[in-house]
């Protein structure tokens, strides 16, 4: 077996031969003629001339050898449903869904916007789109009407697929009124809306526009819908990510490059084997859900768990019960979820048989060392951090234990994966930083590897200007993240380049201060933001949630904890990094998907309007900050 260093070197220096080998992990109707066409930088076209289909690779090709093997495992602790679909049953449902889309006028290249909870029908819809060559654009079910409308406006879908409602923590969240309002707000009106009626909420339908999922699929019967063979470089889907202008960016992905990247990553990074089970706790509204709930595991011939619910409901052992029941070998989650579990009784981690689990993979935000140590000791399996973005589609930095067993380092997501030429550059001069510990902007030299975004949907100019022209004199892809690299080549992500705090001329990364505060034994969660200050320009302000708040009822006790935290930062990072205030909260303001609302926290701390809060989990979290600041 080759070392990973050699494996990575080949992916860069012998690029075409390397990726030609990886391309054999998927089926092609017509093999590619050119492995990589990078004649028009920064655009890269992969597997040119090849024809393939994501649905074929995820479903149809497995019917020969594993038709009766579990493929999709749908679990909802919200509605107490659990159902296993074999590859044969998945194939039947996807064909019926594809027939329903075609009957509603959807053609190859048309956009289908998906606004759905985590239910099996959402998976059928995405795969049906891939099957017929339609471009799906999944919008996270937590978005409210204005956010949804902006995405409808941009994607211009022929059809929207949605549901009556989702559910969170036992509370019904009606989707249909939000969708109707979004369509009203958008200048683009879809021709049809296809609705899954879960019986959770009453919904009004618009005659001639709205259609019932069950009726449409029943009408499709056993219709055979063959896969549409697509050029490798055609569009598979778009997914929206926020932009600095407030206008959402439609990240556009190809077909062939994405299929190969996912097949390779499932094998080399996630160590997945056909017949095993993968459990990603994300949501299909995010790229992790696309890559590692729907497409990646199925392409690898694995069963995939699609979970609707919370990690602590009905109890904090629910995820581990599923690991035991379905013999999960690979699990993918986020540090936020682990920090939620960290507040629960640790006995839940030892209640179930987790011997099938090879590793827990974490991504989506920086993983702090205390959280990593806690879950590592609790599970007794490797905790593998990884760093990537909506734009990349699959991990940029991690360790590839499927190639060579590599040590993980707490605080570091790892090293660059195959095809990624990652460098650290000085933000002002563009100079490459090679000395271990030097802090720079994490960039990727082109051509970007298979599976990476092709461009921004309908806006090549914005793609180039946003991502490729931010470093003076260099055409490199900017991640907009600060990083350092150690002597072993491991990277450490220090936070967004636009989250830097300038305190009296000293530039500080909020991530570094958060790491320090996280090491306090009574800190469960922390967010640090820069707040405007008349004297110093900006000061750091910290917001923490205590692990044990039982002794923090009186102001004196809270002041002692705040003082201890300030002293800790002073000791570890120096007085310049010490927060001006440390506020102890019951909870941090987050979106329903668990992402910290840093900008909203900063706005409230500065006495400004926090802006659009349609995705906030609990508005009282921001109110508590206001109350503490004015007390």
Domain-terminating residue out of 384, 400, 418: 418
Domain-terminating residue out of 418, 433, 455: 418
49-94 pLDDT, tens digit per residue, is: 999 999 999 999 999 999 999 999 999 999 999 999 999 999 999 9
pLDDT of 509 reads 66
Query: Among residues 238, 181, 177, 172, which one has the least CA distance to residue 200?
Result: 172
**The domain spanning residue 252 has which CATH number?**
3.40.50.12780
> How many other CB atoms sit within 10 Å of the CB of residue 65?
11
Q: In the chain, how many domains are there?
A: 3
Query: Among residues 45, 176, 38, 62, which one has the least CA distance to residue 117?
Result: 176
- Asked if the structure places residue 71 within a domain, the reply is no
Task: Please give the full DSSP string across 523-579, using - where no structure is assigned.
Answer: EEEEEEEEEEETTTEEEEEEEEEES--TT-SSHHHHHHHHHHHHHHHHHHH-GGGS-
One domain for residues 24 and 119: no
One domain for residues 215 and 263: no
Strand partners, 237: 136, 253
Would you say residue 201 has pLDDT above 90?
yes
pLDDT of 504 reads 52
Domain-terminating residue out of 187, 208, 223: 223
Strands of 234-318 (E only): list them: 235-241, 249-254, 277-280, 303-308
**The domain spanning residue 124 has which CATH number?**
3.40.50.980
Would you say residue 610 has pLDDT above 70?
yes
Segment 109-123 mean pLDDT: 98
Look up the domain containing 316 and give its range. Answer: 1-66+229-418
Question: From CA 178, how far away is CA 148, in angstroms rounded?
Answer: 8
One domain for residues 237 and 306: yes
- Asked if the structure places residue 484 within a domain, the reply is no
- DSSP letter at 388 equals -
Task: Band the pLDDT of 453: cuts 50, 70, 90.
Answer: very high
> How many other CB atoms sit within 10 Å of the CB of residue 350?
13
User: Is 117:210 a contact under the CB 8 Å cutoff?
Assistant: no
- Could you tell me what percent of the chain has a pLDDT over 90? 74
Would you say residue 169 has pLDDT above 70?
yes
Tell me which long-range contacts 608-615 makes (C-beta under 8 A, separation of at least 24): 612/146, 612/147, 614/143, 614/144, 614/145, 614/146, 614/147, 615/140, 615/142, 615/143, 615/144, 615/147, 615/591
């Amino acid at each position: 077996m080759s070392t990973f260093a050699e494996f990575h070197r080949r992916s860069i220096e012998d690029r075409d031969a390397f990726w030609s080998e990886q391309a054999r992990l998927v089926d092609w109707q017509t093999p590619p003629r050119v492995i990589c066409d990078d004649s028009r930088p920064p655009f890269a076209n992969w597997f040119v001339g090849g024809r393939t289909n994501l649905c074929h690779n995820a479903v149809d090709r497995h019917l020969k050898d594993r038709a009766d093997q579990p493929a999709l495992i749908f679990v909802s602790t919200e509605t107490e449903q659990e159902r296993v679909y074999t590859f044969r049953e998945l194939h039947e449902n996807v064909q019926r869904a594809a027939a329903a889309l075609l009957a509603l006028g959807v053609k190859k290249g048309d956009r289908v916007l998906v606004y759905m909870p985590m239910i099996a029908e959402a998976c059928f819809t995405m795969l049906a789109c891939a099957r017929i060559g339609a471009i799906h654009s999944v919008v996270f079910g937590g978005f409210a009407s204005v956010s949804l409308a902006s995405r409808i406006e941009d994607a211009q879908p022929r059809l929207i697929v949605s549901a009556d409602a989702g559910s969170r923590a036992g509370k019904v969240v009606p989707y249909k009124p939000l969708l109707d309002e979004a369509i009203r707000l958008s200048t683009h009106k879809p021709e049809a809306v296809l609705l899954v009626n879960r019986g959770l909420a009453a919904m009004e339908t618009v005659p001639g526009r709205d259609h019932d999922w069950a009726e449409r699929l029943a009408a499709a019967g056993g219709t055979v819908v063959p896969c549409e063979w697509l050029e490798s470089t055609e569009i598979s889907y778009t997914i929206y990510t926020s932009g600095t202008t407030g206008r959402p960016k439609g990240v556009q992905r190809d077909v062939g490059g994405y299929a190969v990247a996912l097949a390779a990553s499932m094998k080399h990074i996630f160590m997945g084997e056909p017949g095993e089970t993968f459990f990603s706790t994300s949501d299909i509204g995010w790229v992790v859900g696309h890559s590692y709930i729907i497409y990646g595991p199925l392409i690898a011939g694995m069963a995939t768990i699609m979970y609707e619910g919370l990690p602590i409901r009905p109890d904090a052992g629910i995820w581990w019960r599923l690991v035991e029941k379905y013999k999960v070998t690979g699990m993918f989650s986020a540090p936020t979820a682990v920090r939620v579990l960290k507040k629960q009784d640790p006995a839940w981690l030892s209640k179930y048989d987790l011997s099938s689990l090879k590793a827990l993979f974490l991504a989506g935000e920086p993983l702090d060392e205390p959280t990593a140590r806690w879950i590592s000791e609790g599970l007794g399996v490797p905790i593998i951090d990884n760093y990537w973005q909506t734009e990349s589609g699959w991990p940029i930095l991690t360790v590839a234990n499927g190639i060579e067993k590599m040590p993980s380092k707490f605080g570091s997501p790892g090293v660059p994966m195959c095809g990624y030429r990652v460098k650290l550059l000085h933000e002002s001069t563009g100079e490459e930083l090679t000395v271990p510990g030097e802090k720079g902007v994490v960039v990727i030299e082109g051509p970007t590897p298979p599976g990476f975004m092709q461009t921004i949907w309908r806006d090549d100019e914005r793609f180039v200007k946003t991502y490729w022209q931010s470093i003076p004199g260099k055409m490199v892809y900017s991640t907009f993240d600060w990083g350092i690299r150690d002597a072993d080549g491991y990277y450490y992500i220090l936070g967004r380049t636009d989250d830097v705090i300038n305190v009296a001329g000293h530039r500080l990364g909020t991530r570094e201060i958060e790491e320090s505060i996280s090491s306090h034994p009574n800190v469960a969660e922390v967010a640090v933001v820069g707040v405007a200050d008349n004297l110093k320009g900006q000061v750091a302000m910290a917001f923490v949630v205590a692990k044990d708040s039982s002794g923090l009822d009186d102001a004196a006790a809270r002041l002692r904890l705040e003082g201890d935290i300030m002293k800790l930062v002073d000791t570890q990072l120096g007085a310049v990094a010490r927060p001006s205030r440390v506020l102890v909260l019951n909870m941090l303001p987050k979106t329903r998907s668990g992402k910290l609302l840093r900008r909203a926290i900063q706005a409230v701390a500065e006495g400004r309007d926090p802006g659009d809060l349609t995705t906030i989990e609990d508005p009282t979290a921001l109110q508590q900050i206001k109350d503490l600041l004015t007390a």
